């Protein structure tokens, strides 16, 4: 299916054919080990040759799905802005389609990647604004909401993957400096998990203290079942792990303070980190009163938030009030075949669990593929009930194909 002329004006004629052409190909899923190895021994020319094609494939796959969203959503001003950004970036990258890998071309490509990264810096917030605009205008029916939820999981994990490719290339072969001499691009081959946990906790605690004038403490237990007695380290993208931990700590602190009150002694947040042969497991346990199963199901929904809607004047922290923190954190976990889930006991507290692959050759990118299956999931109308009541986990569309 091609983009409509109304949605993406410049994508007509030969450009529309390019979109159709590149969306026929499946994106190449890389392991974190492949990212690491290429960052150490690869060349700028080889990276350029791979990226100029792979970025077009990943963009085309998700852009084709964009056109299948409910027409009302596509007409929202913020949604149009996002679609135009993607159209512009696809067209910019097409300029390198037939170019050789000369140093001059690679330098031009690097400059263009920087432009694309800046252009897409606020895609998440802008798409969230599109949903708010839709709710405020006419609302959305249940069938459309499920399709939107299905699409956004795919859209945002696609965005994570595209930014990973771009940032990795620019740090290794461009002018962007790594976070430390040990890093290979965005990847830390010996990521100190304890350090990331403490960093995320202290920054979340700073926000909690600032807002509530108090915060719970943390009790951390580390257990390395592979190399007993040694610190826990894995091959990871530290910023991804930090994003997840910071979000979960924020939620746990807020729940704890609001449940117990600012004048009471607050129970500790307990954190367990265990490294096994295959998985790195992290569990964050709070006594913040928990949530009911009804609410628990909604916490990953992009159209649901426990916080008040964000002000439109830019005075609030990015993403606050959009309800995107938890679903995006789950996508960061799932991106390299990990997972994130919650177990809650209403009236007591919540356990948040993160699983990450401990073996880098097994940590493969999870990428959306445009197909008849994805088209069906995006365009499916209301279904006749096959249960007397809603059963959790039954009849839900998958988060990824």
Instruction: Return per-residue pLDDT of the chain as tens, 401 residues.
Output: 334 434 444 355 677 788 999 999 999 999 999 999 999 999 999 999 999 999 999 999 999 999 889 989 989 999 999 999 999 999 999 999 999 999 999 999 999 999 999 999 999 999 999 998 998 887 777 778 889 999 999 999 999 999 999 999 999 999 999 999 999 999 999 999 999 999 999 999 999 999 999 999 999 999 999 999 999 999 999 999 999 999 999 999 999 999 999 877 999 999 999 999 999 999 999 999 999 999 998 999 988 765 556 665 555 544 455 678 999 999 999 999 999 999 999 999 999 999 999 999 999 999 999 999 998 888 877 777 778 887 665 544 444 44
pLDDT attached to residue 306 = 56
Q: pLDDT at position 12, please?
A: 58
> Which member of 251, 275, 365, 377 is catalytic?
251
* pLDDT computed for residue 318 by the predictor: 44
Contacts of 150 (CB under 8 A, 6+ apart): 377, 378, 397, 398, 399
**Closest C-alpha to 353, from 279, 303, 297, 253:** 279
Residue-level pLDDT at 197: 98
Question: Would you state the pLDDT for residue 390?
Answer: 72
- Given the structure tokens 């299916």, which residue do they identify? 1
Catalytic member of 247, 270, 357, 365: 247
pLDDT, residue 319, reads 41
Exactly one of 120, 146, 250, 357 is catalytic; name it. Answer: 250
Burial of 173 (0-12, 13-18, 19+ CB in 10 A): buried
Return d(Cα 57, Cα 50) in angstroms, integer.
11
Question: If we measure between CA atoms, which residue out of 68, 161, 163, 140 comes closest to residue 301?
Answer: 140
Identify the pLDDT of residue 2.
38
pTM, two decimals, is 0.91
Boundaries of CATH 3.30.565.10 in the chain?
188-309+318-362
Q: What is the CATH number of domain 13-178?
A: 1.20.140.20
Question: Is 297 assigned a catalytic role?
Answer: no
Beta pairing partners, 289 = 348
- Whether 247 is catalytic is yes
- pLDDT attached to residue 352: 98
What is the token pair recorded at 294? 């009804």
Q: How far is it between the farthest Cα atoms of the chain?
A: 67
Would you state the pLDDT for residue 145?
A: 87
Give the separation between CA 110 and CA 104, rounded to whole angstroms.
Answer: 10
Where does the chain hold its CATH 1.20.140.20 domain(s)?
13-178
Q: Is 260 a catalytic residue?
A: no
Catalytic: which of 169, 240, 243, 275? 243
Correct CATH for 188-309+318-362 of 3.40.50.720, 3.30.565.10, 3.10.20.740, 3.30.930.10: 3.30.565.10
Whole-number pLDDT of residue 396: 47
169 catalytic, yes or no?
no
Q: What is the rounded distance in angstroms from the CA atom of residue 170 to the CA atom of residue 395?
A: 42
281 in Cβ contact with 355 (< 8 Å): yes
User: What local confidence, expressed as pLDDT, does residue 311 receive?
Assistant: 62
């Amino acid at each position: 299916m091609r983009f409509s002329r109304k949605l993406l004006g410049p994508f007509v004629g030969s450009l529309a054919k390019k979109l159709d052409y590149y969306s026929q190909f499946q994106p190449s899923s890389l392991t974190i080990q492949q990212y690491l190895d290429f960052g150490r021994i690869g060349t700028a020319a080889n990276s350029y040759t791979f990226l100029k094609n792979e970025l077009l494939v990943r963009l085309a796959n998700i852009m084709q799905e964009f056109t299948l969203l409910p027409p009302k959503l596509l007409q929202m001003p913020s949604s149009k802005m996002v679609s135009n950004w993607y159209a512009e970036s696809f067209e910019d990258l097409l300029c390198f389609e037939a170019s050789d890998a000369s140093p001059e071309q690679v330098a031009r490509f690097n400059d263009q990647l920087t432009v694309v990264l800046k252009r897409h810096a606020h895609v998440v917030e802008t798409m969230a604004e599109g949903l708010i605009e839709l709710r405020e205008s006419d609302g959305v029916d249940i069938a459309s909401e499920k399709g939107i939820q299905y699409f956004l999981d795919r859209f945002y994990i696609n965005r994570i993957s595209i930014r990973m490719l771009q940032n990795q290339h620019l740090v290794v072969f461009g002018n962007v400096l790594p976070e430390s001499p040990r890093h290979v691009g965005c990847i830390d081959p010996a990521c100190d998990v304890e350090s990331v946990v403490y960093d995320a906790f202290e920054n979340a605690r700073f926000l909690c203290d600032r807002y509530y004038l108090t915060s719970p403490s943390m009790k951390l237990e580390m257990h390395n079942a592979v190399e007993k007695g040694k610190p826990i380290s894995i091959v990871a993208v530290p910023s991804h792990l930090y994003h997840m931990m910071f979000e979960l700590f924020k939620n746990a602190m807020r729940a704890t303070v609001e449940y117990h009150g600012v004048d009471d002694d607050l129970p500790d947040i307990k954190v367990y980190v265990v490294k096994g042969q295959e998985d790195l497991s992290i569990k964050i346990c709070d006594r913040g009163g928990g949530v009911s199963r009804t609410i628990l199901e909604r916490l990953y929904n992009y159209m649901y938030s426990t916080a008040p809607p964000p002000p439109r004047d830019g005075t609030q922290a990015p993403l606050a009030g959009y309800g995107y923190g938890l679903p995006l954190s789950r996508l960061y976990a799932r991106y390299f075949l990990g997972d994130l889930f919650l177990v809650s006991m209403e009236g007591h507290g919540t356990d948040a669990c993160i699983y990450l692959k401990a073996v880098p050759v097994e940590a493969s990118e999870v990428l959306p593929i445009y197909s008849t299956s994805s088209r069906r999931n995006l365009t499916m109308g209301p279904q006749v009930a096959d249960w007397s009541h809603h059963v959790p986990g039954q009849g839900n569309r998958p988060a990824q194909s």
